[in-house]
Amino acid sequence: MAQQLLMPKATAVWLVDNTALSFDQIAHFCKLHPLEVKAIADGESAQGIKGLDPVSNGQLTREEIEKAEADKNHRMKLSDPKVRVPEAKRKGPRYTPVSRRQDRPNAILWMVKNHPELKDGQICRLVGTTKSTIETIRNREHWNQSNLVPMDPVTLGMCSQIDLDFEVSKASKDKPVVEETNDTTLLPASATENLTENTAVFGSEKPVEKDGEEEELDADKVFAKLSSLKGGGSDEQDN
């Protein structure tokens, strides 16, 4: 949580009355306009406001004031707080400024399209809407659906990037993990370790060639076979 100055006008009154700082330096430190600081010095503004000492409440040091008085271009900075007060958790839907409410459906449409994993309750917390509005936009039943344009809610100033990333990461944890399916599988190690030249890629063995070439033919058997065929043919002619 960014540190903020307590009671800027009361602090400006004290700085005008008790220091030699310029109007620009006081205006920069108190987040006021220089003309407003000049009006305080002239007694035209902040009448009846009691000055608040920023040194006593630990928001400014005396050394920082003296440094700024010596150098008119120096800009004072708030001192680091000694105690960190935790930021109060916000309850209920986020408040959306009136000037941004017309862009709320555009932000909802952007989140529905780009982050479908977000739940309705999370979208409600981010942009301060209702579940019925989200449902009509998701189902394309919104009365102004044809004119809606997806717009980043961070760009519109409806939520911070940190809040959006937190809700997206939270929703991604609840999203089921989809396992990738692949038809091709690797061979087990036992099948690949004993591959030889006679083993095919997919584990099927190639026909093993015999050590020698084709067996030598027996000439006697061949001639005996031819003689028997020839003899059989002559017998049929005699008949």
Domain enclosing residue 102, as ranges: 98-174
The residue from 50, 70, 90 where one domain ends is: 70
Same domain as 106, residue 52: no
The residue from 149, 174, 199 where one domain ends is: 174
Asked whether the beta carbons of 150 and 106 are under 8 A apart, the reply is yes
Residue 200's contacts (CB-CB under 8 Å, 6 or more residues apart) are: 206
Secondary element (H or E) of residue 75: none
Look at residues 219, 121, 203, 216 and name the one whose alpha carbon lies nearest to residue 167: 121
The answer to whether residue 90 is domain-embedded is no
pLDDT in tens, the chain (239 residues): 456 788 889 999 999 999 999 999 999 999 899 999 999 988 888 777 888 999 988 888 999 999 999 999 999 988 877 656 555 555 555 565 655 678 899 999 999 999 999 999 999 988 888 999 999 999 999 998 889 999 998 888 888 888 888 888 888 876 655 555 555 556 666 655 555 544 444 445 545 455 544 455 566 777 777 777 766 555 555 54
Residue 69's contacts (CB-CB under 8 Å, 6 or more residues apart) are: 19, 20, 21
Same domain as 66, residue 118: no
d(CA 238, CA 227): 17
Number of domains present in the structure of the chain:
2
The answer to whether residue 194 is domain-embedded is no
